[in-house]
Amino acid sequence: MKLIIIFKIILGIIFLKSSFNKLKKPYQFYKAIEDYKFIHNKFLLYIVPLLIVIEQVLSLCLILPVNPLAFLILGIILQSFYVFLLLLNIGKNFKNNCQCFSLNAPGMVTTKNISINIALLISIILTYGWLLRLENG
């Protein structure tokens, strides 16, 4: 039980660190997402803050002992979005990117970035499954 809680907290710290970067530079994150040309400019102003907040809440849900279903849902939504976004832009180089969001919005999208995001998604699902199994005895 202790091991899974430590793993869950480490996951939370990874997301917290990533969200802190976006928290400090919301405009640069906006430009990075805009550069991917996936979301229409009209909606960017509403979606970019939402992405930052979802990441913040996800990290808090992983660190604090809240209902595991909360981090499962948020994690699947967030990581699926980034995996899909990066898959669409694989191999492309973006000039309006400050290179400060290497986890979710890198300036040069490589298979390594996608793999890391998929690994995070799988980790969230596994953590949920593991917690559920332990709770059910």
Partner 1 sequence: MKLLLLVLLLAIISYIYFFRTLKKDLYFMNSIQKSTEHMDGSVDIEKYIICIEKSMIIDDFYFYKDVVKIMPKNIPYELISFDFSKEDDANFNLIDKLKLKNIPSIHFVDEQKKSKEIFNFNDLEDSLNSREVLKIIKGVLYNNESQGNLK
| Binding site residues, partner 1, CB under 8 A | 25-28, 30-31, 45-46, 48-50, 52-53, 56-57, 60-61, 64-67, 70, 96-98
At residue 67, what are phi and psi to the nearest 5 degrees? -55, 125
- Spatial neighbors of 31 by CB under 8 A, at least 6 apart, are 96, 97, 98
In angstroms, how far is the first alpha carbon of the chain from the final one?
A: 11
> Is residue 117 within 8 Å of residue 86, measured between CB atoms?
yes
Q: Report which of 60, 31, 61, 71 is spatially closest to residue 48, judged by C-alpha positions.
A: 31
Cβ 19 to partner 1, closest distance in Å? 10
Q: In the chain, which ranges are continuous DSSP H helix?
A: 2-24, 26-35, 41-63, 68-88, 111-135
Nearer to partner 1, 24 or 112 (CB): 24
- Closest approach, Cβ 75 to partner 1, in A, equals 14
- Identify which of residues 61 and 72 has a Cβ nearer to partner 1 in the complex: 61
What are phi and psi for residue 61, nearest 5 degrees? Answer: -65, -30
CB of 30 to partner 1, least distance (A): 6
Nearer to partner 1, 39 or 118 (CB): 39
Task: Closer to partner 1 by CB, 94 or 116: give it.
Answer: 94
* Shortest Å distance, C-beta 73 to partner 1: 12
